[in-house]
Amino acid sequence: MEADFVIVGAGSAGCAMAYRLGEAGASVLVIEHGGTDAGPFIQMPAALSYPMNMKRYDWGYTSEPEGNLDGRELACPRGKVIGGSSSINGMVYVRGHAMDYDHWRDSGAEGWGYADVLPYFRRMETWHDGGHGGDTYWRGKTGPLHVSRGPRKNPLFKAFVEAGKQAGYEATDDYNGEKQEGFGPMEQTVHDGRRWSAANAYLRPALKRKNVEMIRALAHRVVIEEGRAVGVEVERGGTVEVIRANREVILAASSINSPKILMLSGIGPAEHLAEHGIKVIADRPGVGGNLQDHLEVYMQMAASQPITLYKHWNVVSKAVIGAQWLFFKKGMGASNQFESAAFIRSRAGIPYPDIQYHFLPIAVRYDGQAAAEGHGFQAHVGPMRSKSRGRVSLRSANPADNPKINFNYMSHPDDWEEWRRCIRLTREIFAQDAFKPFVKSEIQPGADVQSDEQIDAFVREHAESAYHPCGTCKMGRRDDKDAVVDGHGRVIGVEGLRVADSSIFPRITNGNLNAPSIMVGEKMSDHILGKDPLAASNDTPWVHPNWETEQR
C-alpha cells in the first residue's frame, strides 16, 4: 500500500485535502479508523444529539477531572466516522472573526491573516441565503460545501433578534460576511435537508477518482527514516502494516489525535516521551500544549405560551417528523434548530465580539435529555477567548490507549470575570419587551443566582464544553520553541510531514470550528501542492466605530 500522499483522518480538513490533492492528479490514500456515516442518525439534521452520544461514531474522550469545575470530567466528543466531527457536530457554520486570523498572522503564522484566508472561505462554499438577504459579495457561490439557513418560522427566533436590538445591540444580516457583530440568522451546513458534512461535500466526490482511496485502520505512528516521514504504521484486521508515502504524510486526525500520533512517533516534549520509553526524534515541547476550547452554559427560560419545540417531544411527533424527513427531506427534521445567533462584546475596550449565542426554541440538554419539563427555550452562551490553556499528553506508549486531556478550564482569573458579565448580559436580553409575551420565569441559573459567588458556583457546576478543542500543534515561526508546524503546516524538525486540522490554530476562533478547519484543509492543499496561494483580499470587515468607549 502506497500513495504520493497519505492522510491520517477523514475529518473536516482531511476530506478537503483528499479532494484538492486528488483533483490535482496526485495519488492519495486516506486512513480513517471510524466506519460509515450512512443512516438517519447522522444524515438527519434534527437528530444531531444522537451520533455524538453513540460509541459507534465517537472516540468517547473525556477530560481529566477539571479542578476549577468541581473536579468534573467533561465530555470531549470527536468524530470516529467518515467526515470526522463534521458528521456528529451541530452543523453550525461560523467562519470566525477577521481579527482572529490577523492575530494568527501577528503571532507568527505568516500568510494566515484575514486577507489570506477569506479567498479560501469563498472558494470552499456554495452559499444559499434562502431569500433572507445577507452579504453575497463576501460569500462563495461555487464551492463543494453548501451552507444554508433555517426557515426561522418559530416566533422565538425573531424575538431573540428583536430583544438584542431593543437592548441596544447591532443587527447583522450575515455574521459570516462583512459584519460579525450583532444579532441575526444562524447558518448551517445543511443541503437539500441533509447534513452536509465534509464527507458529503468533499470525500464522496474525491473517492470517485481512481487516484483517491480510503482504508479503515487505526494509525499507530508516523514512520520516520533519517529525519524524513516515509509512511504510517497502522493496524487493521489485527495485523500491523506500514503504508508508504512517496511524497508526504499529512496528519489531520483532530486536535486530540494529531498530537497523540506525533508523540507516539517521537515528536514532542522530550521528557514526556522518555517517561513512556519513546525514542525522541524531534524535541518539540509545544506538541499537545496550547490546548483551548469554548465553555458554554444553557440559559433557560420557561415559556408562557406552548410555542416551543417541546410540543414535538413525544414519540408520535418524532415519528411524524422522522417520516417527513425520510421521504421528503423536509420539515422539522431538515434543520438543526439553531436558527438565530448573536455575537456581542462583553465590555467597552474590546475591539471585536467575545461572547457567542446559539438560540434554541426548546429547553433541553445537548445530549438530547430534556432538562426542563414543559415549554421553554434557551440560549447557549459563553466567552470566546478564554486565557486558560491545557494539554493533551500520552497515557502510555500503547496507541490503543486514550490520551490524557487536561483543558485546565477556568484557570485564568479573567475567565471568571468574563463569565459573570456573560450571565448578566444574557439576562438583560431575555428581559426585553420582545420576550415579554413568551417568558414565564428563569429555569436556569434561576432568579436567586445573583451575586458573583452564586454565578461562579453555577458556572462551576453547569459549564459544559462547546466541543471546540484546538491549538495542540500550534502554527508559528520556526524559531518559536512552542510552535509545532510552520505557516505551510510542515512539522518543524522532520521532513515530509505536515499537520493540517484544528490543532494548528495558534488561538481559538470566534465561534464553531468546523468552517475554519475545512478552510485549513483547503489552504494547506495549495501549500502541499506548491501552488501560489489565492490572491489576498483587500476587503475591510466592519468593526464597531466606538468600540473603545461603548459596549454596544
Pair 522, 311: CB distance under 8 Å: no
User: Binding site annotation covers 263?
Assistant: no
List the grid coordinates of 265.
512517533
Q: Alpha-carbon distance 419 to 403, whole Å?
A: 29
How long, in residues, is the chain? 552
CA distances (Å), origin 46, targets 88, 90, 422, 449? 11, 9, 28, 32
List the grid coordinates of 369.
435529555
Residues 6+ apart with CB under 8 A from 279: 266, 273
113 φ/ψ angles, rounded to the nearest 5 degrees = -70, 170
**Residue written as grid cell 453513540:** 54
Pair 347, 420: CB distance under 8 Å: no
**What value, to the nearest 5°, has the Cα angle with vertex 448 and ends 446 and 449?**
75
User: Binding site annotation covers 333?
Assistant: no
> In Å, how far from its chain's centre is CA 273?
29
Question: Coil, strand or helix: which one is 76?
Answer: strand
Strand partners, 5: 28, 248
Strand order in the sheet with 187-188: 125-127, 145-149, 187-188
CA distances (Å), origin 440, targets 259, 303, 436, 449? 48, 5, 8, 17
Buried b (16+ CB within 10 A) or exposed e, 112-130: bbbbbbbbbbbbbbbbbbe
CA distances (Å), origin 333, targets 154, 238, 324, 366? 14, 39, 8, 16
**Residue 509 φ/ψ region, left for φ over 0, alpha for ψ in the -120 to 50 degree band, beta for the rest:** beta
**Residue written as grid cell 439557513:** 149
The residue type at 50 = Y
CA distances (Å), origin 203, targets 17, 208, 424? 9, 9, 44
Choice among 358, 468, 488, 527 that is catalytic: 468
User: Binding site annotation covers 92?
Assistant: yes
Residues 6+ apart with CB under 8 A from 540: none
Residues 6+ apart with CB under 8 A from 442: 299, 300, 301, 302, 427, 430
Q: Alpha-carbon distance 32 to 11, whole Å?
A: 9
468 belongs to the catalytic site: yes
Residues 6+ apart with CB under 8 A from 186: 92, 149, 150, 338, 339, 340, 341, 358, 359
User: Binding site annotation covers 99?
Assistant: no
Strand partners, 29: 6, 213
User: Binding site annotation covers 331?
Assistant: no
Residues comprising the binding site for FAD?
Answer: 81, 89-92
Annotated catalytic sites, by residue? 468
Residues comprising the binding site?
Answer: 81, 89-92
